[in-house]
Amino acid sequence: MSTSKFIVPVPKIEDRDFIKPLLCGPGPCDVWPSVAEALIKPVLSPVCDEFFDVLADIQKGLKYLFQTKSNLVLAISGSGWSGAETIISNLLAPSETLLIATRGYWGDRAFDSAKRYGINAVQFRIPFNTTFSLDQIERELKKLRPTALFIIHGDSSTGTVQSLIGLGELCHK
Ligand SMILES: Cc1ncc(COP(=O)(O)O)c(C=O)c1O
């Protein structure tokens, strides 16, 4: 297309300098210097052996982090919520029931995502500055018998940390 047909002129993009902020939240957050260095390595094709080697290393690291021997451990190349939505949409079929333990913004977001997939999402709410006890969760699980339970560990919208200890056993019961 001839540039004379452009109705929007070329924008003037400034080369901006930033003072490095101190980011301590759950995200975006400061990264270790070796991580920052890795970001300036050459971009790889996603279908070359070097890329698969890197993915295999990430998988090994994740297995160590989560202390699991499962081969279903994978890194999602997307934002944090794309990971959450991947789990919601792959773990449950439409019309199956997802119990969402909600104590902040992220529980509401899980509810909206699940509904869009046709999942029978049911919210169980407590005040936003509190966390769930095992008894509360057990009662709701027994009442609803859902396919899965969705719960946020560190809820950045309320600044609360939910203990996850014992939840796996409750779900398997
Ligand atoms: C608890 C929690 N879950 C999910 C997200 C979403 O992450 P992202 O913005 O990377 O999609 C955030 C972001 O702050 C978060 O705090």
125, part of any domain? yes
Q: Closest by alpha carbon to 97, among 71, 127, 123, 130?
A: 123
User: Can you give the residue range of the structural domain that contains 136?
Assistant: 80-172
For β-strands 160-161 and 97-102, DSSP reports them as unpaired
Residue 6 in tokens: 């452009």
Give the pLDDT confidence score for residue 28 in this predicted structure: 81
Q: What is the pLDDT of residues 71-95, one digit of tens each?
A: 989 888 888 899 999 999 999 999 9
List ligand 1's pocket residues with C-beta within 6 A: 26-27, 79-81, 84, 106, 152, 154-156
Q: Note the pLDDT of residue 4.
A: 78
Positive or negative: CA dihedral 102, 107, 113, 117: negative
**Is 37 in the same domain as 98?**
no
Q: How many domains does the chain have?
A: 2
Rounded Cα distance between 173 and 170, Å, is: 5
Q: Look at residue 138 and tell me if it is in a domain.
A: yes
CA of 80 to the centre of ligand 1 (A): 5
Question: Does residue 86 sit in the same domain as residue 42?
Answer: no
**Same domain flag for 52 and 131:** no
Distance CA 24, CA 130 (A): 22
Low-confidence ranges of the chain (pLDDT < 70): 1, 3, 26
Q: Is 26 helix (H, G, I), strand (E, B) or coil?
A: coil
Report d(CA 44, CA 48) in Å as an integer: 7
**What distance in Å separates the CA atoms of residue 132 and residue 124, rounded to the nearest whole number?**
10
Q: Atom 16 of ligand 1 has which residue's CA nearest to it?
A: 156
Q: Both 88 and 166 in a single domain?
A: yes
Give the model's pLDDT for residue 1.
59
| Ligand 1 mean position, distance from CA 23 (Å) | 15
Contact 130, 159 (CB under 8 A): no
